[in-house]
Amino acid sequence: MRRFRYVLCDVFTDTALAGNQLAVFTDARDLTSEDMQALAKELNLSETVFVLPAQLEGADVRIRIFTPARELPFAGHPTLGTAFVLGGPLQKIVINLETLAGIVPVELEREGAALRFGWMDQPLPAWEPFARADELFAALGVSGSGLPVESYDLGPGHVYVELGSPAQVAALRPDLPALAAITDLGVNTFARDGSGWKTRMFAPSDGIAEDPATGSAAGPLAVHLARHGRIAWGDEIEISQGAEIGRPSTLFAQAFGEGHRVDRLRVGGQAVILARGELQLP
């Protein structure tokens, strides 16, 4: 019988049973890719992480990230959550996590021995207009978008639709099968909410009806807002997500650049370690 230890945590929150759930298998050397995908499907969280020895120079560890349906080259809350899980044992200020999208550094802030906050430097995205915007509006049940509808790719891909108010974002009841037929990208809706931004993200093609906190979408959102003049380059934005599914989350993002050029992208937040366990396989 093979035994594998894992840690369960909630990411982009400082409160247990909120944020986005994550399981991290801290030593996956005896797991095959098929095992990893099957375990991600078994746990049925939005993502599950498997930690392996690093292969690239400069990386501390290598991570593989799986949704219940497929492997992702990069994702935000799994990267930040894994840094919180490994931050104690590794006792590092910056943990360099090797992903399929390259090495992602995560800088951890501490209060005494406790981890308080983490900032990850995300891969820089490419973007383009989204060709099926009218179909997307119909599936979401909205009349249009305040900003151009564009898709961003930084490993996972996301498309963005701006609505007029937080109430409109909260009231969405999208046609999920229609969304899955239109695109395999994460579909992000957002609106200004006071000094911050409210978002919801739907990814039915990945087996995720709605995601409570999407780190890989937070960075491109900051880029999208800066490119189109909603914020200035370098502004730190606060994003609220997940309330509609009972998992309130808070994310922070900063995009640095000029015009339509991105130089650096950071996403930050907190995490809570909830449980530790052992899983047995034949």
pLDDT tens digits for range 80-93: 999 999 998 888 89
> Which are the catalytic amino acids?
47
pLDDT tens digits for range 157-194: 999 999 999 999 999 999 999 999 999 999 999 999 99
Domains observed in the chain: 2-122+269-281 (3.10.310.10), 126-264 (3.10.310.10)
pLDDT tens digits for range 37-56: 999 999 999 999 999 999 99
Strands (E), 164-270: 186-193, 196-203, 208-211, 236-241, 249-258, 261-269
pLDDT tens digits for range 216-244: 999 999 999 999 999 999 999 999 999 99
What is the average pLDDT score of the chain? 96
Three-class SS of residue 226?
helix
Residues 72 and 65: beta-carbon distance below 8 Å: yes
This prediction's pTM: 0.96
Calculate the CA 103 to chain-centre distance.
16
Residue 111, pLDDT score? 87
With residues binned 3-state (H G I as helix, E B as strand, rest as coil), the percentages for the chain, rounded to 5, are 25, 45, 35
pLDDT tens digits for range 87-128: 988 888 999 999 999 999 999 999 887 899 999 999 999 999
Q: What is the mean pLDDT of residues 130-148?
A: 98
